[in-house]
Homo-oligomer: A and B are copies of this chain.
């Protein structure tokens, strides 16, 4: 059977994204009105081979809000069958028989694609190692649309660890679906945006610049997309502290920002946005996390409707 799977950001074209925006808005209304029991006979299995409590709870809550039931495991690293040497394919074949949709997080790149190849129910990729985490990218782009009323013609800064932070890669792919975008990659020398992402943008005619000057960027952009900088990426603690200090969003950065710009962050944060920023209306990161619930409700709904988004991959 031809299933609808959510594997990577690149499978979504502009029409898919616009349909998703519309559907997500509907889901906000469903949630605000106390939820639905539309999918009360459906079962979601959350298979998390590495822990990600927040993401798991977000999916599980989305399923509950649609009336469905959830089973799962929060630590499939201890998944007893995997320990006994079972392949991911065998696990998915069997769990498919217990489920109407499987939300999977795995440590290996490509695991979601492998799961989708044998599953008899939709697979939603909740992160596969250094690979993709498409629902994060989708909630990011939805947040931009919702907060600013459009995605076209925006200036977006992505800040922090641009090498290992997979959310900025996936968001870059999605932004390529819109017009007049300009991305400001703002990062320390050792965690720059990778060449293959830049190549992708060039092929898709997306304008971008690279810089290490947060203050200059802050004054120009519509979106400041902040991410964590991880200690272990730096040659010394000293260099880490220096880099980190330069990229903190605080009240002085706020003062430089446009009045209707927004600050986003995939969360969790660990100091790179000062808490003094939280009360500013431009601080959109908690609203962004909340949007994750609505976007996931919309995606689960699409899985059950079995009239999923056309899966297209664009060339790189």
**Given contacts A71-B61, A86-B268, A268-B86, are A81 and B53 in contact (CB under 8 A)?**
yes
For A289, what are the chain B residues with a Cβ–Cβ distance below 8 Å?
93-94, 97
Q: Assess the B97–A71 pair: CB atoms within 8 A.
A: no
Inter-chain pairs besides A54-B95, A64-B69, 9 sampled, C-beta below 8 Å: A41-B65, A57-B95, A57-B98, A70-B71, A85-B271, A86-B269, A94-B267, A94-B290, A97-B286
Given A41-B35, A45-B57, A267-B86, are A52 and B64 also a contact pair (CB < 8 Å)?
no
Total number of A residues with any Cβ neighbor in B under 8 Å: 53
Contacts of A99 on B, CB cut-off 8 Å?
61
Residues of B with C-beta under 8 A to A69: 64, 69-70
Contact present for A270 and B85 (CB under 8 Å): yes
Mark contacts of A77-101 with chain B using CB atoms, 8 A cut-off: 1 yes-contact digit, 0 otherwise: 0111100111000110111011100
A243 to B37, CA, bound (A): 54
Q: How many angstroms between the C-alpha atoms of A84 and B58 in the bound complex? A: 18
Asked if A270 contacts B35 (CB within 8 A), the reply is no
